[in-house]
Structure 1
Amino acid sequence: MNKSVFYKWLKIIKKLDDMTCNAQISNCLIIEESYGDLDDSYARDKCESIFPKLSYTEKEDDENIKVKNLFNSLKLYEEFKENKLVQEIKDMPDVDPDKYDGSYELVRETVESFSRTPIDVIDVSDLDVLYFMTVGTWKVKAKYKIQKIQNSHLPIEEKKRLTKIFNLVMERARKHEYENIVGEWSVGMFSIGFYTFTSKSDEDSARRFISLCIKIHKSDDENEILHMAEETFKTSIKGMQAMEASVILHCLKPYIFPIINTDTIEDYVLFEEKGVIFTDPKELTNYVENTRKIKKFRDKECLFRNYKVLDMKLLSIERMKIDKSKYSEIVPNRDVVNEEDLEISDCSKSTYSKEDFLNEIFMEEGQYDVIYNLLRHKKNIILKGPSGVGKTFIARKFVYSIMEQRDDARVKMIQFHEEYSYEDFVIGYRPGKDGFRLKYGIFYRFCKQAESDPRRPYYFIIDEIDRGNLSKIFGEVIMLVEADKRGEEYAISLPYIENLFYIPRNVYIIGTMTARKGNSRVFDCSLRRRFAFIEIEPAFNNLNFKRYMENKNEDLADSIIEKFIKLNEDIENDPSLGGDFRIGHSYFCTPKHTLSKEKYRNIIQYEILPQIAEYWTNEPYRIKKWIKELIE
């Protein structure tokens, strides 16, 4: 049995967690001890001779549960070997690019316009024009794309020509003439991780990539085209990875260039038995090498030629849901792990960059860089600040920006409270149906997950970290939290189990705590030195927040900001309160795109004033002053 490929299939396609994957492998190895190599058995009779020997009843005794687990594991192995998804891919019909979506025509015509433009006037803004032609109008509006054309370095006549073509494509889309349109009309097939190459690329890179596109556009020789791309990508294109390059090149030559989609990149494990084993697919330097691998499989075994067909099928696989209950009772050791320990994570992903973070979070780039460097070197940080500054929201979004994707499979968020214990966090006996059972805690399981994937970072977020008794919750594990005490060489013994435990080097811990006088006492010196503390301030002085408020209500924006800056100054200057008690800006970060006067009054009356009343219970005149100031 090919354990490695089977494990990847369980993990990526079936979306099982590490513990459950290992349980499946373990059960299949037990079957092999009695009946021989499963690969041989499948080749012989698709394991039909083994299934009858694994019969069981529904009786809840140890022997029946064990046989049932083995049977279910063998069914999973059978599904893995059948690989019906690959057969479905092979049989999928082709798609005519220009009938499917207007972005194919738009990219071709944009490159044609650039071929009529002196290369020495092209810069990064022109790369934006080309890229946004691939992006769906649900993400980047048509008006914004027209604006990009007008601001480009194309000659006037080319701007007019391209704008005319663009409007014709939009008109066809409004008439639902493209196959890609379901429901509301749109043009473009891809989402977006950023809104401009300006901060990512440079003039030389933009010119080299656009020059490559012009050469590819003029050629019909597939081998020549792949060779040109390979030579160009030997020198990196600044700010561009395989994903960004692939969507442009695919729209330019859909039968030659496959799409590298961060949402589906792991699903290529399906093809490993066919010899399609990608080399670091996110890296642009490997894109042509990986293209040749998938081309060999497509040309030999598939009906389709347009690589968008493959992308569509992989996206549909990513959306597939797994019935957790079917596998929840398959465990390696009933004395150690309960069914409740088996988690199937939601691995839905989409790109998310530093630029996305700074556009969404009201934080200066300098502070972002400070937090990034502290987390990178210290491995443990705490975001500290007044209530309402968005610490928890910032923590998760910050992690996404580092990973450059929303990958919740590598992020775990919990919240500490007064009753949170070592047994919840690390390991211990917990009550179950049949008395007390030994259970691995959430942090233990998370570390084991990270241990099995050492090349990628994992982030453990502890909300309200100061509400728990940290010495009690971490126990002896607290010594392993330090950045220089990570790794197997620092492994320690834990109660109840023989195996040693360590925190992998790729685990990062982010805590959040609401600043309050006296709460720093929960961190004694030994705990405090293991974390870096970062103050998150109210964002009323932030320019992005000002623009955000102006978009919600231009008439109210300046007034609100001015009032809350004054209120926070008053709170900070009060000796009985101080800066920890300031009001955060997130009260105004509502889902609605507008902020009416009525909504503003409700926020003040039902959310802000009760807090102020608590601050100054013995100063009614002060409360009245701020009621008048904030509402009028």
Structure 2
Amino acid sequence: MSNIQSKFTELFLEFIDSYPYSGDGLRHIAAYDQQRQQGCRNFKGIIAAANAGEDVTDSILLQLLPYTDSPANQKRGGWIHIAPVLATDVRNKYEAAKWTKSEEWPDIAQAILNFVRCCNDDPNKLIDACNNFSNLPYSKGFQSGIISPILNALRPDNFILINKKSRIVINYFAQTSYTQQLIDYPDINNTGIQLIKNLAPEMRQPGRPALRDDDLFDMFSHWLVAVKKYHFNSINPSLLNEIMTDIKSDIEEQNLQPEYTLDQCSEETGIDEIELIRWVNNINRKGQVILQGPPGTGKTFIAQKLAEHFITGRDGFSEIIQFHPSYSYEDFIQGIRPRSKNGQLTYDLVPGRFLEFCKKAESYDDICILIIDEINRANLSNVFGELMYLLEYREEKINLAGSNESFKIPGNVRIIGTMNTADRSIALVDHALRRRFAFIKISPNYNILKRYDQDEEINFSIDQLIQVLQDINKMINDPNYEIGISFFMIWKIEDNLQDIWEMEIEPYLEEYFYNALDKIEEFRWNKVKIKLGLNTDENN
């Protein structure tokens, strides 16, 4: 064991000096407790719903299994994990691999829940639980890496994280040859726990982060395999071959997220790829753009998809904030705020959202996107302050108000704003600001509406709905106030169409034609439904 400890200590000291306090390392450290807490909340919520007789299939498959941190997985409610196995919905992946059939998922979900409940109730039943699950006809693909994260979240003292990286490192230092099969999980879990206990004294080095020993070992494993790309030698050839194969696939998986191409962006937004290339070039050239258009044209959605293109497959991130009339310089840049310290009231200079974003961006290598939704709803000259200068002169530094420290916008920061042209506060966007942004016009895209509903069974004509919208926009006769399509891009549109029309479209038209209400009579729901072929008793 002394040779193993010596090699481990050498590598661990290098790890402590280089990784934990880097940008990636700090995010890694924060993730452990956050993901455990979320996993526990997910499990408790699912148990409560299951006990109430609810169908929990979706919740189990999305909230008990570890997913990569991507906008798509966040949107579908997946459990984002530091050791992800799934880049997309598990059903899509496993059905494509021919491992499961769509009708089997309720049974699979129930088997997963039974497995987790069994191990959570009695950790000593892990061997039986793994054997029973492995004997199920649909167990293929469910290996240690996909099951261990939720057990670790619920009982971290009994179950360590077993993934490709930690399995490689455990096998190397323990001289074992465990596979990723679920049947091997009890043994590698016990071996890993014992190995960590044996190596714990070597991990108690100056400067180590305040983490559990098993979390620190997992973080070290990630660094050794995916960051340092350590060459595992002095090991039997068959295991070495397996390790190197795993390292290759693991590094490919770890290389951030799969690239979100402009072709994919074009498919989802309905915007021609050539046009998207122009937009991307202008975002990089100018540094900041505003997507402007009437309500319902999908400006925020498009901004998020552009951000996804910039950051996926790269070392970057995106955040979104929304401006409003009371948004201030102190909120966005920095300001003095009261704080209580030891019973005394002090007034400290506190960074705003943009300074915090820029500070975070400095620890990333690639482009970071800040989306400012409804950018024209704030008094921009007041909110931006010195930023007006820095937006134009990106290489310059300037002292901010109330501070002697100089500030510049990091070179990897891009800003995408969205502007509703029907908002009368657009008049507040003065020439000085317009000069600093590139403006991209977003108009209603009816082809998207056709594609969005092509797979949904509906009893009215989408083409007729589009024709009605075009007739309305022709009557409005102002591109800044046209009605967009996002009102109708919802699931089960037919069930909600009347409410959307009477509670959203008609009030908008009434406000626009407040002094000529007779113009909108032909676009009241009782007449529109006839044009759509919905003139039935059921549709009122």
Instruction: Bin the TM-score by the shorter chain.
Output: 0.5 to 0.7
How far, CA to CA, are the matches of 1:411 and 1:558 in structure 2?
36
Check 1:429–1:388 CA distance in 2 against 1; reply closer, same or farther (3 A cut).
Answer: same
Percent identity between the two aligned chains:
29
The 5 A counterparts of 1:56-455 are 138-139=91-92, 142=95, 185=138, 270-271=220-221, 274=224, 277-278=227-228, 293=230, 295-296=232-233, 305=242, 352-404=260-312, 410-433=317-340, 434-453=345-364, 455=365
Q: Secondary structure at the match of 2:306?
A: helix
Query: What per-residue deviation string (whole Å, max 9, x for no partner) do you get for residues 10-41 of structure 1?
Result: 4242138xxxxxxxxxxxxxxxxxxxxxxxxx
Match of 1:102 in 2: none
Query: How large is the RMSD of aligned CA atoms in angstroms?
Result: 4.4
Equivalent position of 2:488 in the other structure: 588
- The aligned amino acid for 1:375 is I
Cα pair 1:430 1:436 within 8 Å, conserved: yes
Give the C-alpha shift of residue 384 in structure 1.
0.3
CA–CA separation in structure 2 for the residues paired with 1:550 and 1:612: 28
Q: Would the aligned equivalents of 1:461 and 1:510 in 2 still touch at CA under 8 Å?
A: yes
Post-superposition CA distance 1:362-402 (Å, at most 9, x none)? 32223212211110111110000111112112111210012
User: Take 1:381 and 1:6, find their aligned partners in 2: how far apart are those partners?
Assistant: 35
**Inter-partner Cα distance in structure 2 for 1:314 and 1:305:** 14
CA displacement 1:577-605 (0-9 Å, x = unmatched): x1111111001111x2x332x42222111
CA distance change for structure 1 residues 359 and 298 in 2, over 3 Å: closer, same or farther?
farther
Match for 2:517: what amino acid? Answer: P
Instruction: Structure 2 unaligned segments of length 5 or more: list them.
Output: 1-12, 32-86, 112-129, 144-216, 531-540
Q: CA deviation at 1:275?
A: 8.4
Residue 623 of structure 1: how far off its partner (Å): 2.0
Amino acid at match of 1:551: D
Report the alpha carbon displacement of residue 511 of structure 1 after superposing the two structures with TM: 0.7
For 2:18 and 2:306, locate their aligned partners in 1 and report how far apart those are by CA, in whole Å.
32
Residues 357 and 620 (structure 1), Cα distance of their counterparts in 2 relative to 1, 3 Å cut: same
Structure 1 residues 502, 269: closer, same or farther in 2, change over 3 A?
A: farther
Distance 1:580 1:181 in 2: 60
Contact 2:226 2:251 (C-alpha < 8 Å) held by counterparts: no
* Partner-residue secondary structure (3-state), 1:139: helix
- The amino acid across from 1:403 in the alignment is I
Task: Give, in whole Å, the separation in 2 of the partners of 1:350 and 1:274.
Answer: 22
Letter in 2 for 1:583: I
C-alpha deviation, 1:270, in angstroms: 2.7
Q: Is the contact made by 2:390 and 2:409 (CA closer than 8 Å) also made in structure 1?
A: yes
The letter of the residue matching 1:526 is: A
2:465 corresponds to which residue?
Answer: 560
Q: How many residues align?
A: 358
Corresponding position of 2:430: 524
Query: How far is the alpha carbon of 1:187 from its aligned partner?
Result: 6.6
User: Which piece of structure 1 moves more, 366-375 or 382-391?
Assistant: 366-375
Distance 1:172 1:470 in 2: 51
Paired with 1:428 and 1:537, the residues of 2 have a C-alpha distance of 38
Give 1:499's aligned residue.
Answer: 405
Give the Å deviation of 1:305: 3.8
Q: How does 1:569-588 map onto structure 2 within 5 Å?
A: 569-572=474-477, 578-588=478-488
Offset of residue 140 of structure 1: 5.8
Q: CA deviation at 1:421?
A: 1.3
| 8 Å CA contact retained: 1:136, 1:187 | no
* Cα deviation 1:605-630 (Å, max 9, x = unaligned): 12211111212223232222111442
1:465-544 matched pairs, under 5 angstroms: 465-482=375-392, 485-487=393-395, 490-516=396-422, 519-540=425-446, 542=447, 544=448
- What do residues 159-180 of structure 1 show as CA deviations (whole Å, max 9, x unaligned)? xxxxxxx87x658996979999
CA contact (8 A) 1:352 1:406 kept: no
Gap regions ≥5 residues in structure 1: 17-133, 146-165, 191-266, 279-289, 319-347, 573-577
TM-score calculated relative to the size of structure 1: 0.49
Deviations 1:72-116 (Å, cap 9, x if unpaired)? xxxxxxxxxxxxxxxxxxxxxxxxxxxxxxxxxxxxxxxxxxxxx
SS of residue paired to 1:381: strand
Shift of 1:358: 2.3
Do the aligned partners of 2:20 and 2:29 also contact (CA within 8 Å) in 1? no
> TM-score with structure 2 length normalisation?
0.57
Q: Deviations over 1:336-385 (max 9, x none)?
A: xxxxxxxxxxxx96653333322322322232122111101111100001
Q: Which amino acid aligns with 1:504?
A: P
Please say if 1:13 is aligned against 2:28: yes
Deviation (angstroms), 1:6: 2.9
